[in-house]
Structure 1
Amino acid sequence: MGYVSSAKKSTTPSEGWSDLWKQEDYWAVWLGLTIVVLAIVFWSNGINFMNWIVLKIPSYSYYSTAISYVSSHMTTLLTLYLFFLILFSIAVKALTGDVKRFLVGFTFLFLLSVLVSVWGSWDVMKRYNIETPLLALVVGLVISNLFKIPYWLSTALQTQFYIKLGIVLMGASLPFTLIVKAGTTAFAQATIIALATFLTIYWTGTRILALDKRFAATLAAGGSICGVSASIAIGGAVKAEKQHVSIAISMVILWSIIMIFILPLAIKALNIPPGPAGAWIGTAEFADAPGMAAAAAINEQAIKTFTLMKVVGRDMFIGIWCFIMAFTSVTRWEKRYVGTKPDALDVWIRFPKFVIGFFVASIIITFLAASPNVVTSKALDNKIINPIIELRNWAFIFTFLSIGLTSRLKDLASVGWKPFAAFTAGVLVNIPLGYLLSVVIMGNYWITVK
């Protein structure tokens, strides 16, 4: 689903289990785990498949060096393109059926990703800490705000699918023992952040700005749980108006983009170590993709602690919050009984399935690492984990380009001052509280998470 314009309502319990295979969550899990399993199967049979399809542009000082490198690796680049194209086309066929336009759109997106990767590897970009994901976002924003995005390209801008696939692949680089160890801390910290931010936005929206309760709840969910997905899911659970859901999504995107630039600058100015920095981004950012871009501007450790905080700590809340808010809407906000009461099945329906894929990928690699058949941990890193990390990085580049290409600043700025004020109140609580917990109170702990 696209980050803004292509967003669609999440599956509700009334739609039944037969429709679940049409959700991008499941396809992100299946394709992510397929990549992990393929890597293991080929490696166990002595086939260096993953290194055949992975291309990482090395840092360079002169463009001639980059052009020479890409030219000498055209076969690898073509194989990588076909690999992604085949996997993604299978998912798109089930999700939208619009495969032909996707083929054209993804070809353009992939070529643009290659250009961004080459540009992002320039030592000048490295010198100014302009990482490839951030550069991809900026390039996408410039294009979308200067030109009209054609429909054939918009079909390939599957932001939510790309980021969820990337998060599943992220699990392969995090030992399950680390997730278990850090998960309880992340969940506890995220609970404090989520409750404080949600209540701030909701109270400001309803008590001070006189917003509709359902509208305020939708805004609060986007700012406290998991961004766009939470706004859509909670908006559906409390039966908010479609326009209110759209405004909440716009607020998430607007502040997420702002935070991509502000947080890395603040982290560097305050000289915060990567571990606590990633955890702070995980509490301060409102959506997975922009948060990953901000964390990538720090380093790999920041990406790991961000993932633990955001995915393990906050994204898992969505099913529980949908149940609570739907129950509150039915029993307290509606003047008379409408429809059926929410039940425990809501928790599963709303639960982000890509989180399960993230855990499974981590478990698979953890068991493989503990297997007596593994020659060395270095071989495991070089043949499986590192190539998967590179494929994850490509998925993130697709994500950030898609965000930029589907975000028009003019549209984001036209949401009205009341929703903006309510959401901003949550930001003013979220940022310092996240800093206090991630850097001051738990800073020594997050430093050790690597």
Structure 2
Amino acid sequence: MTTRPAPAPDASPAPDDRPAAAPLPFWRNEDWIAVVLGALTLLPVLAGLRPALPKLKWGSAAELTATVLSPANLLATLQIGLALLAISAVGVALLGRDLPRYALGFPVVYALSWLAQVLAGNAAVHHYGIEYVIFALLLGLFVSNVIGVPDWLREAVQTEFYIKTGLVILGANILFQELLQAGALGLLQSLLVVVVVWYACFWLARRLRVDDEFAVMLSTAVSICGVSAAIAACGAIQGDRKKLSYVTSLVLLVALPMIFLQPWLVKALDIPDLVGGAWLGGTLDTTGSVVAAGALISERALKAGTIVKFSQNVLIGGAAFFLSLWWTMRKANAGEPRPTGRVIWERFPKFVLGFLATSLLFSFLVDPAVVKDTKATLTGLRTAWFALAFTSIGLETRFGSLLKMDGGRPALAFVAAQGVNLIWTLIVAYLLFGGLLFAPPPIR
């Protein structure tokens, strides 16, 4: 008779075993607080405040010393850190957490995230498309697994808190006009890939006896856009944060070799540039990695990949809504009380509303000249929030826990689904961008 493997000693209780918690008032809800923090980041910039962002790109030791480590640049780094601390402290206070301990630990998390961006800013590293997210994860993992995370630092390790705020700000770069200009092919490919790959991963996970909660996060991560989508999925189903840390670490570790292998395969197999770019856009998890990998092929591949990735990013909000609705109805079919509109609303990840509101604001209400002027500043601030989040993922991840969690079956499901993703997305890219069904888009 088959028995269920024993859970890891530090694993959270299964979702069905967790006691039902009373709904939090909106000012104590982390999702709503992320919307508030996103607004506190966005509104001053819209009002005309343009803080000096630290310079992080360098090519030699002399340039590193003269620019990145110059007194003026270190002062800009300190000012951005203090601004993020002040903004995030509002959320920490509203959540009722230990504010003094958070303020004590935040500089360490911020310093590690800044170091990750500096390492990724090296010209040679940038050329090969290794992004700050990889360095942030590795630095966090080193501290967590080699040095250890002291108690006074743990209060500042707030993965979801940081990334939800960054996702709200991301809406400023998801403009409806640009999506329409990009054409329908990118969106059509994204829909075809997301539906098929999501279902394939969920089926594989269930065949490997991975629980539904884990399967949803894995499927959403591999089919849409990696870590950001996994965060949205976790919020939609009120998932276990240990499982989320597992998924995000897995996504980043699998993504690194793909940045190099896929461009090599495009050239080795003589895949057309447009098809290769669309393939990259549908399989790599971040826009930065798509740009880096596409640049290793051609300018046309880079543009095609960016269009497809941009279209995929737009699906985050809709995916979170449907996951929230589907998960609630699934629970009802499993014997739980039929969900009411209020229950569905309580489960819905509210930070997605902030993401959509920001996108609508910058798409239709903010002057296009202001959108253009604020893009660099908001991108830099969003990156700073994301860097804090990815560093936190590393800091809260223990390799021992990863290896023990469900006997490695979630990792096997994810890798197998990524294989399906690579094959199916290449087929769809050939159909849509290779001229088999439609005329190739006029991308030059």
Interval containing the TM-score (normalised by the shorter chain): 0.7 to 0.9
1:278·1:304 contact (CA, 8 Å) conserved in 2? no
Corresponding residue for residue 299 of structure 2: none
Corresponding residue for residue 21 of structure 1: 27
2:214 pairs with one of 219, 226, 232:
219
1:402 pairs with one of 370, 392, 408:
392
Distance in 2 separating the partners of 1:449 and 1:96: 52
Corresponding residue for residue 319 of structure 2: 317
Distance in 2 separating the partners of 1:229 and 1:380: 25
Distance in 2 separating the partners of 1:217 and 1:392: 31
2:236·2:323 contact (CA, 8 Å) conserved in 1? no
| Per-residue deviation, residues 94-151 of structure 1 (Å, max 9, x unmatched) | 2242211111111112222333333332333234433333222222222222121112
Task: Letter of the 1:227 partner, please give it.
Answer: A
Q: SS of the counterpart of 1:341?
A: coil
Q: How many residues align?
A: 404
Say if 1:152 and 1:8 are closer, same or farther in 2 by CA, change over 3 A: farther
1:275·1:449 contact (CA, 8 Å) conserved in 2? no
Corresponding residue for residue 361 of structure 2: 364
Say if 1:84 and 1:204 are closer, same or farther in 2 by CA, change over 3 A: closer
Distance in 1 separating the partners of 2:14 and 2:92: 15
1:31 pairs with 2:37:
yes
| Per-residue deviation, residues 2-34 of structure 1 (Å, max 9, x unmatched) | xx999998xx9x867652332332222222233
1:230 pairs with 2:230:
no
Q: SS of the counterpart of 1:413?
A: helix
Corresponding residue for residue 327 of structure 1: 329
2:185·2:432 contact (CA, 8 Å) conserved in 1? no
1:201·1:216 contact (CA, 8 Å) conserved in 2? no
1:352 pairs with 2:358:
no
What RMSD over aligned residues (CA atoms) do the two structures have, in Å?
Answer: 4.0
Q: SS of the counterpart of 1:54?
A: coil
CA offset at residue 403 of structure 1?
Answer: 1.9
Of 356-365 and 301-310, deviating more is 301-310
Report matched runs for 1:114-263 at 5 Å: 114-179=114-179, 189-206=189-206, 208-209=207-208, 211=209, 216-225=211-220, 226-231=229-234, 233-234=236-237, 246=242, 248-249=243-244, 252-263=247-258
Distance in 2 separating the partners of 1:297 and 1:161: 28
1:428 pairs with 2:419:
yes
Say if 1:341 and 1:407 are closer, same or farther in 2 by CA, change over 3 A: same
1:322·1:350 contact (CA, 8 Å) conserved in 2? yes
1:330·1:341 contact (CA, 8 Å) conserved in 2? yes
CA offset at residue 196 of structure 1?
Answer: 3.1
1:381 pairs with 2:372:
yes
Corresponding residue for residue 56 of structure 1: 55
Gaps of 5+ in 1: 44-48, 237-241, 286-290, 372-376
| Per-residue deviation, residues 268-326 of structure 1 (Å, max 9, x unmatched) | 32266696366314xx65xxxxx46745755897677535414x214522332333343
CA offset at residue 86 of structure 1?
Answer: 0.6
Say if 1:198 and 1:277 are closer, same or farther in 2 by CA, change over 3 A: closer
Task: Letter of the 2:65 partner, please give it.
Answer: A
Say if 1:222 and 1:119 are closer, same or farther in 2 by CA, change over 3 A: closer
Say if 1:185 and 1:127 are closer, same or farther in 2 by CA, change over 3 A: closer
Distance in 1 separating the partners of 2:187 and 2:320: 13
Distance in 1 separating the partners of 2:182 and 2:30: 27
Corresponding residue for residue 66 of structure 1: 65
Corresponding residue for residue 341 of structure 1: 338
Distance in 2 separating the partners of 1:31 and 1:388: 13
2:133·2:252 contact (CA, 8 Å) conserved in 1? no
2:231·2:244 contact (CA, 8 Å) conserved in 1? yes
| Per-residue deviation, residues 391-435 of structure 1 (Å, max 9, x unmatched) | 112222212222222222222121215444444443332332234
Give the alignment's TM-score, normalised by structure 2: 0.75
Distance in 2 separating the partners of 1:86 and 1:71: 22
Distance in 2 separating the partners of 1:408 and 1:447: 46
Name the % identity.
23
CA offset at residue 177 of structure 1?
Answer: 1.8
Of 426-435 and 301-310, deviating more is 301-310
